[in-house]
Amino acid sequence: MGIDDSGVVTAALDAGYRHVDTAQIYDNEGVVGDGLTDAGRDDVVVATKLWIDSLAADAVRAGTERSLDRLGLDALDLLYVHRPRGDYDPETTLPALERVREAGLTDHVGLSNFTLEQLTTAAEYVDIAAHQVEFHPFFRQEALLDHAQREGYPLVAYSPLAGGLVFEDPTIRAIARDHDTTPAAVAIAWVTSYENVVTIPKASSRSHLAANLAAAELELEPADIDAIEAIDRTEELFPE
């Protein structure tokens, strides 16, 4: 989200990242495609998301093909419904996405920003490959996490740093001091401490790319995790 320099994508892949996440509404699929071309596509998982104006049954394939053209790809690894709004209708949108998958334009179908009820309905039409939602120390969507763990698909956590709010929190700052690391690393380590949860932190500089990647090596103590979960604060950055 917000990346307008293909060099950032190239730098991320050079640093070791192997998952690239974008979306039609981010207006940077072309930039991502340029970065993929420069760095090479091998072993890279590429995901994008159909916006709400590409979710009518007769618009899904055309929308997918436009994204593929901008990305310079023949097929995606993962194609999401960005939000279940606008032209979204589970009875028509999801079968259309399944037809796109059967046609070889994407390997998997994912969902993003769905409620538990919407997930339950969607599961009647597609195999959910992933569910991408806001998830960080100040906004823990336990019901969605439980569903992902029960059904065996990954929960993909966006905004794990809560838009930078983790840098101000005294509990997270104290844990970071104890581990001689940063609040960002602590937040990422907390998010990924859950089974079935992966995260896609935003980064636009080489130093932040490296730091976010290194955070995957941090193991928090059970007491650290308990302390973070005890934080009495709710901050939803992207409400419906």
Q: pLDDT digit string (tens) for 53-71? A: 999 999 999 999 999 999 9
Rounded to the nearest integer, the mean pLDDT of the chain is 94
Asked if 153 is an active-site residue, the reply is no
Number of Cβ atoms within 10 Å of the Cβ of 19: 15
**Strand ranges (E), 33-105:** 45-50, 76-81
Q: Are residues 168 and 224 in the same domain?
A: yes
What CATH number does the domain containing 148 carry? 3.20.20.100
At a CB cut-off of 8 Å and minimum separation 6, what does 11 contact?
Answer: 206, 209
At a CB cut-off of 8 Å and minimum separation 6, what does 40 contact?
Answer: 13
Q: Are residues 83 and 21 in the same domain?
A: yes
Residue 70 structural domain: 1-129
Q: Report the b/e string of 82-102 with b at 16+ CB within 10 A.
A: bbbeebbebebbbebbeebbe
The last residue of a domain, from among 129, 159, 183: 129
Give the pair of three-digit tokens for residue 135.
Answer: 């998830």
Q: pLDDT digit string (tens) for 148-191? A: 999 999 999 999 999 999 999 999 999 999 999 999 999 999 99
The last residue of a domain, from among 129, 154, 184: 129
pLDDT at 3 over 80: no
- Looking at residue 1, its pLDDT comes to 52
Q: Are residues 6 and 19 in the same domain?
A: yes
The reply to whether 240 falls in a domain is no
The last residue of a domain, from among 99, 129, 159: 129
The reply to whether 8 falls in a domain is yes
Q: Are residues 105 and 205 in the same domain?
A: no
Which residue, 52, 61, 5, is CA-closest to 24?
A: 52
> Which is higher by pLDDT, 79 or 11?
79
CB-facing half-sphere around the CA of 234: CA atoms within 13 A: 3
Q: Are residues 163 and 112 in the same domain?
A: no
Q: Are residues 139 and 117 in the same domain?
A: no
The reply to whether 238 falls in a domain is no
- Looking at residue 209, its pLDDT comes to 86
The reply to whether 155 falls in a domain is yes
Q: Are residues 17 and 123 in the same domain?
A: yes
pLDDT at 122 over 70: yes
The reply to whether 59 falls in a domain is yes
The reply to whether 140 falls in a domain is yes
The reply to whether 227 falls in a domain is yes
Between the ranges 14-18, 115-119, 197-201, where is the mean pLDDT highest? 115-119
3-state SS class at 132: strand
3-state SS class at 16: coil
Q: Per the residue annotation, which of 26, 80, 88, 158 is the catalytic one?
A: 26
3-state SS class at 14: helix
Q: Are residues 74 and 169 in the same domain?
A: no
Q: Which amino acid makes up residue 233?
A: R
User: Quick check: 35 and 6 in contact, CB under 8 A?
Assistant: yes
Q: What one-character DSSP code corresponds to residue 238?
A: S
The reply to whether 135 falls in a domain is yes
pLDDT at 221 over 60: yes
To 5 degrees, how large is the angle CA 121–CA 95–CA 131?
50
Q: Are residues 112 and 177 in the same domain?
A: no
